Amino acid sequence: MVAGDRFSDENGVRINRLGITDPQQLAQAETDSSLLRLQRLNIQGGIPGGRYDHAHLKQVHQKLFEGVYQWAGETRADREFQGHKPTYVTGLKETMTYAPYKEIELRLNAIGEQLGKENNLKGLSEEKFAERAAYYLDQYNHTHAFRDGNGRTLQATFVQLGKEAGYQVDFARIDPATLNRARDLAMVRSHAPQEAEKNLRALKAMFEQVISPAPGIEAKKLRDPSQARPLAALSPEMKAFDARRELEVTGYRVMDIVANMPGAGNFEKGVAVGKGVEATNLNPAAIQTHIGQFQQAAEKIIKHPALQGPDAKLDQTDAKRFRTAAEQVQAITAAKEAATGAQQPLPPTHAQAQAIFKEAAAHVAPVLREHGKGLDADRLQEVAKHVERTPFIGGLNRENVGRSIDAAGKLPVLNGSRHLDELKNAVGIMVNAPEMQKQISADDSRAAGQEVER
């Protein structure tokens, strides 16, 4: 458990409706409540009219967990939680990273849209349904929309998807460990993109065990091949997401390889690669800053005398995959910037910055206070009161807001925070005098000059 992640209390126990402070008791209460609700939701057929997008999955999560958690239905984005998780599914330690919380809505909508283009997997044989279901479960799992409860949310989602495609999906037919192992294998992506289907073999095999044709004429119609809509190509959004996933999984492995090389400075270089990968995961534009570093790390592995031969084949492969992924992410990012460059919005006006500052400060100040930074929270709130009156920050206000932002930037819980970023951007606008104030200052100067002349 993680303390202070805004889903948990100071002891790392999830904030809950029941007032439970013991993690084991909470886990049992969550299981008892959510499994009963899962069964009920499956019998009802899921979310009526659900489109398997952001709104759909939030509804599923809320229905499953609202008996225990007041934050049921909230995604990681709602409380700005990123997170990652280790796994040893390959026999080696791997780092599973999830989609940036800022992109959860975008990604779930992109997945749901692509699934809709495949007619929600209607008209497929059992073998093909298992194959495509494995692909989509992996996409949803990597997005990892929720702080907790992703597994049960996806089980409910795929039971509904199966029913609407003419199949019964019964996860009770397998050991939960089988599902978890299959999901982790897909996440770590041991095989290169050219062999992407191999990364999903365990998930496909799992689906083959849990699906069966639903009885009845209507279900048979749903499985009729005339209903099938094979996907011709991934959307540009899905391609971009996939390129960054490849960069992440290979990047963390390259980080470990470089960090464990003998020689002065290699540990630090490996750590720097990991930080660059994390930065690019959260903001793909950061690839422009780190591309040279990534290429050098890959070349270091490829050319290292001790990393030649069959025993180093995996290290060599990961280095080459990493280099290719970095260059692909760079190309996609550059193309997107070129296409949208002429359409970039103008910087916020001072009036807009006023509103942005007020909202952002209202989110950042309580977090500062929760983490023992009461003085910095007070400073920020005092500046917010001033900003309500005038869209200009100078003098002592500028000094105080700078201290508050520095303190907030040192809190892990605010790492990558949208509200902290917005606060900084708003300050960047308002430390410059608005045009009206500039004009008044200019008029005062001219008046002073005229008085001297007289």
Over residues 10-22, the pLDDT tens digits come to 889 999 999 999 9
Query: Could you state, in order of their start, the residue ranges of all structural domains in the chain?
Result: 23-232, 238-343, 350-437
Phi-psi region of 123 (alpha: psi -120 to 50; beta: other; left: phi over 0): left
Phi-psi region of 211 (alpha: psi -120 to 50; beta: other; left: phi over 0): beta
Residue holding tokens 């999984």?
A: 249
Q: Write out the DSSP string of 43-57.
A: HHTSSTT--SSHHHH
Looking at per-residue confidence, does 85 or 340 come out higher?
Answer: 85
pLDDT of amino acid 363: 87
Beta-bridge mates of residue 322: none
Check residue 8 and report its DSSP letter.
B
Confidence of residue 351 (pLDDT cuts 50, 70, 90): confident
Over residues 382-431, the pLDDT tens digits come to 999 999 999 899 889 989 999 999 898 888 777 667 788 889 888 988 88
pTM of the entire structure?
A: 0.76
Token representation of residue 302: 């490829």
Tell me which of 134-148, 160-174, 382-396, 410-424 is least confident: 410-424
Over residues 88-133, the pLDDT tens digits come to 999 988 889 899 999 999 999 999 999 999 999 999 999 999 999 9
Helices (H), 189-312: 196-199, 201-210, 217-222, 236-259, 266-282, 287-303
Do residues 418 and 348 make contact, with C-beta atoms less than 8 angstroms apart?
Answer: no
In the chain, the percentage of residues whose pLDDT exceeds 90 is 70
Is the pLDDT at 439 greater than 50? The verdict is: no
23-232 belongs to CATH 1.10.3290.10: yes
